[in-house]
């Protein structure tokens, strides 16, 4: 009877994680390609197909750090059981569903983090305040940093003395240089180094000082030349190409940063109790994200593409570049983030470069207030949901 209950809870927890990953794939991974669709650079269905593939690959190769933080870094002294994981995931998914249904901006990272803290406390665990301070500081810095980078990017793109055949390729070079250094778990790391990246692989096979920096500069230069040639042939065509490339790297980063919200609660169950390697759990999350992107993203893409078309391609670029940078920093630090938080801040910052953010102060205040309310209420609800489940099953 105990074995039957255990495996039933394993199946329920896994199914709940898949549903959460599906919701993330359908909602959180769509914004990156919306500007390209709005600029008629790619069709909606092709974009949805690419989002699913790229986000799933990002989940498999970059999702481990945030998954570990969500699963083991938020509460000390206890292990998250399958029942606790189910309670936390159901709580987070309920918040996300409420956001989709009502139109309120519910950030998945806030809901999941709060829910897992709540169920951990309900298990009798101790708060990990150092982790909370680190996450809170990062979250607090996201709006000014994202907005500031977007403002700077939009300003460069709007300057008359910097032609678009130079400004857009320069942004492509920045993106290419960062891509050379993003952490990818499938790549080997140099001896004594923790980073698995394209630049790191170059240093591994050519053990000469400065090779990693040279590899970074080479990819940045190649990115610059590719987009420069496209913009020289046609400015609009070059910008559309960059929008597609930028959407691809942001969608990849989104999968890596979001999958941990679905797989993190299952970390202890899969690794400690079932003894499975981390890639198995990330595969579960990647499958859910892939399904959500292919089945749910097209409708959302059409809606968000209209919004980005109103913003214009340059302001869209200004919003997405910070999204890529901040997402990669969060992945490197293992900090769960909300892509909506980053993109909204980027849109506001890019709008300020043109003299108006296009978003009212009241709307900004309501959004921030709802984010805080989401975090606090998800802690309380997660605590209560687990306690209810445990009582009903006689595990309290």
CA angle, residues 335, 115, 380, in degrees to nearest 5? 130
Measure the CA–CA gap between 271 and 269, rounded to whole angstroms: 6
Task: Give the pTM.
Answer: 0.89
- φ/ψ of residue 85, rounded to 5: -60, -40
Tokens, residue 182: 């993003």
Tokens, residue 25: 């794939």
Q: Render pLDDT for 304-359 as a digit per residue (tens, 0 to 9).
A: 666 666 667 777 888 888 889 999 999 989 999 887 778 777 777 777 766 654 55
pLDDT at 305: 63
The CA-atom distances, in angstroms, between 49 and each of 42, 186, 289, 294, 301 are 11, 23, 12, 6, 12
- Domain range summary for the chain, segments of one domain joined by +: 2-392
What is the pLDDT averaged over residues 214-239? 93
What is the pLDDT averaged over residues 210-226? 93
The alpha carbon torsion through 333, 335, 339, 342 (nearest 10 deg) reads -70
Q: Render pLDDT for 168-192 as a digit per residue (tens, 0 to 9).
A: 999 999 999 999 999 888 776 655 5
Tell which residue, 393, 379, 336, has the closest CA to residue 127. Answer: 379
- CB of 324 within 8 A of CB of 55? no
pLDDT at 356: 55
Banded model confidence at residue 117, pLDDT cuts 50, 70, 90: very high
Paired residues of 76 in beta bridges: 126
> Which residue stretches of 312-360 are H helix?
313-333, 339-353
Measure the CA–CA gap between 66 and 231, rounded to whole angstroms: 37
pLDDT at 264: 92
Contacts 24+ apart (CB under 8 A), 344-347: 344/105, 345/142, 345/143, 345/144, 345/146, 345/147, 345/150, 346/146, 346/147, 346/149, 346/150, 346/318, 346/319, 346/320, 346/321, 346/322, 347/150, 347/311, 347/315, 347/319
């Amino acid at each position: 009877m105990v074995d039957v209950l255990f495996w039933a809870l394993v199946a329920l927890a896994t199914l709940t994680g898949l549903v959460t990953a599906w919701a993330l794939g359908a909602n959180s991974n769509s914004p990156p390609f919306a500007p390209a669709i709005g600029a008629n650079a790619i069709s909606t269905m092709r974009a949805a197909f690419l989002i699913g593939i790229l986000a799933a690959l990002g989940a498999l190769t970059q999702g481990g750090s945030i998954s570990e933080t969500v699963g083991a870094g938020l509460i000390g002294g206890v292990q998250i059981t399958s029942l606790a994981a189910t309670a936390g995931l159901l709580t987070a998914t309920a918040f996300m569903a409420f956001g989709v249904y009502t139109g309120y901006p519910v950030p998945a990272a806030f809901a999941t983090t709060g829910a897992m803290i709540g169920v951990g406390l309900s298990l009798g665990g101790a708060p990990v305040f150092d982790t909370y301070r680190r996450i809170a500081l990062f979250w607090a810095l996201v709006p000014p940093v994202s907005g500031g980078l977007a403002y700077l990017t939009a300003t460069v793109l709007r300057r008359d003395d910097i032609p678009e055949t130079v400004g857009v390729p320069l942004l492509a070079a920045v993106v290419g240089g960062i891509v050379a250094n993003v952490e990818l778990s499938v790549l080997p790391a140099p001896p004594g180094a923790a980073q698995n990246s394209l630049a790191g692989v170059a240093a591994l096979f050519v053990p000469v000082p400065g090779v990693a920096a040279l590899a970074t500069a080479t990819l940045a230069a190649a990115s610059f030349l590719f987009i420069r040639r496209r913009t020289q042939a046609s400015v609009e065509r070059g910008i559309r190409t960059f929008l597609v490339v930028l959407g691809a790297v942001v969608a990849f980063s989104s999968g890596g940063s979001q999958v941990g919200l679905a797989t993190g609660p299952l970390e202890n169950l899969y690794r400690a109790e079932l003894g499975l390697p981390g890639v198995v759990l990330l595969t579960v999350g990647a499958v859910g994200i892939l399904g959500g992107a292919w089945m749910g993203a097209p409708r959302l893409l059409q809606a968000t593409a209209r919004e980005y078309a109103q913003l214009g391609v340059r302001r869209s670029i200004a919003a997405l570049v910070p999204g890529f940078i901040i997402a990669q920093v969060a992945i490197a630090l293992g900090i769960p983030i909300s892509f909506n938080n980053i993109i909204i801040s980027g849109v506001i910052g890019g709008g300020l470069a043109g003299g108006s953010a296009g978003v009212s102060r009241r709307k900004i205040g309501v959004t921030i207030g709802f984010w805080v309310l989401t975090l606090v209420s998800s802690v309380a609800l997660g605590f209560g949901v687990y306690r209810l489940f445990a009582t009903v099953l006689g595990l309290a």
